[in-house]
Structure 1
Amino acid sequence: MYSNRLTYQLLKVSDLQEFHALHSIPEVDQFNTMGIPESIEVSQQLLDEVIKDQKKKEVNKLTYSIKLKETKDFIGICGIIKSSKKYAKAELWMKFYPKFWNNGYATETIHTLLKACFEEHQLHRVEAGCAIENQASKRVLEKCGFVVEGIQRKNLPLKSGWSNNYEFGILEEDWNK
């Protein structure tokens, strides 16, 4: 996949160093439930699981590296987690190196993932969530057409404690407007 300024490729073994470095940044971990990996070996295990999921006959978890088209710099990762075919929906997520925040890359990425969900995967509904303290992610999701459908109380186990979580949704008919 690609967008105006970015390319998206399924994560591969050669992405280990960047994958580990991204997850080791405290600012990235602030709203992340995974936590900072204790070692590169832990990151290797996580990456191995991602790659294993992507090789299944029916792939439900797609995790992409995000790179700048011009320089090929690795700037983050994103993903689509699809439900069973019956429900025709998915959840989106993303993480970026802080030095690439506030450049419109998150909005561009979510827009690209939505296009894939609705046009390529023929989904009916796409969901996303973020901690209520994560106002930057909230703005990105709203810019992309998501609607806040509710708040889950104390749903996210963050380092700072249990956080409430915005629940967002967008339907195929909202996308086509």
Structure 2
Amino acid sequence: MNIEILKTERLILRPITVMDLDYIHELHSLKETDEFNALGIPATIEETKQLLEKWISENNRELTTHFTFAVELITGNQTIGLIGINLGKVKYKNAEVWFKFHKDHWNKGYATESLKEILRFGFNELNLHRIEAGCAIGNVGSIHVLEKTGMTREAHTRKLLPLSSGWSDNYGYAILSTD
């Protein structure tokens, strides 16, 4: 399946490329974006390159199950974040979404706008039944994004996330195609 370019009113969601390496390394190296992310800050750009190459390879599989997009502003083609949707088992018709935006672009509605588009893509293009997301209980920004897109908090899992600050509880969110 070729991954298509998705567009919203203000954003372009396009498959990531090797040209995104420097941006992704910068994004993953920010302490602000690392605070609630289990990935950790990469030790070297080579570590980021390996992750990027894995994502590109997954995007280009004949039967893509992990979609990773760069999020750009329509005006100026500036990359402002990443968003992805990872499919679960085919029979369950489910997936998990994730996103990470540069701190300079927080609180402007970009994460909400891009997540709404990814949810639309998941339900309408991928014919999913259920889409899930998780976030650290202290990640107020992501909690707001998930709830603004109509996702429902369904779970509170104790000490699930290995964050730089220690183990964190996790909130589980989901939305159904019928919601």
CA drift of 1:51 comes to 1.0
How many residues were matched structurally? 174
For 1:156, the equivalent position in structure 2 comes to: 161
- AA at the equivalent of 1:69: I
- What's the RMSD between the two structures over aligned residues? 0.7
Partner-residue secondary structure (3-state), 1:141: helix
Partner-residue secondary structure (3-state), 1:142: helix
Equivalent in 73, 76, 79 of residue 81 of structure 2: 76
CA distance in 1, matches of 2:144, 2:107: 11
CA drift of 1:58 comes to 1.4
CA distance in 1, matches of 2:141, 2:54: 29
For 2:127, the equivalent position in structure 1 comes to: 122
CA drift of 1:4 comes to 0.6
For 2:3, the equivalent position in structure 1 comes to: none
Partner-residue secondary structure (3-state), 1:103: coil
CA drift of 1:165 comes to 0.2
Partner-residue secondary structure (3-state), 1:173: coil
CA drift of 1:71 comes to 1.0
Alignment of 1:1-177 (within 5 A): 1-174=6-179
CA distance in 1, matches of 2:65, 2:89: 8
CA distance in 2, matches of 1:110, 1:19: 19
- AA at the equivalent of 2:151: F
- AA at the equivalent of 2:77: K
Report the TM-score, using the length of structure 2 for normalisation: 0.95
Report the TM-score, using the length of structure 1 for normalisation: 0.97
Q: Which runs of 5+ in 1 are unaligned?
A: none
Q: Once the two structures are aligned, what percentage of the paired residues are identical?
A: 44
Structure 1 ranges of 4+ moved more than 6 A: none
CA distance in 1, matches of 2:164, 2:26: 19
CA distance in 1, matches of 2:62, 2:178: 29
- AA at the equivalent of 2:163: L
Q: Which runs of 5+ in 2 are unaligned?
A: 1-5
User: 1:85-139 CA deviation, whole Å, 9 max, x = no partner?
Assistant: 1110110110011010000001101100000011111100000010000011111
CA distance in 1, matches of 2:107, 2:93: 32
